[in-house]
Amino acid sequence: MTEIARAATIHFAVTFADADGNAATPAGATLYLSYPHRGTRVEASYALTNDAGTWTVDWESNVSEAGVVHYRVMSSGSPIAVAEGDFTLTSNPADPN
| pLDDT tens sequence across 18-27 | 888 888 889 9
Domains of the chain with bracketed CATH: 3-90 (2.60.40.1930)
Q: For the purposes of burial, counting CB atoms within 10 Å of the CB of 53, is it exposed (0-12), middle (13-18) or buried (19 or more)?
A: exposed
| pLDDT tens sequence across 42-52 | 999 999 999 99
- The backbone torsions φ and ψ at residue 62, rounded to the nearest 5 degrees and listed phi first, read -70, -10
Nearest to residue 31, comparing CAs of 49, 6, 17, 18?
49
Give the global pTM: 0.87
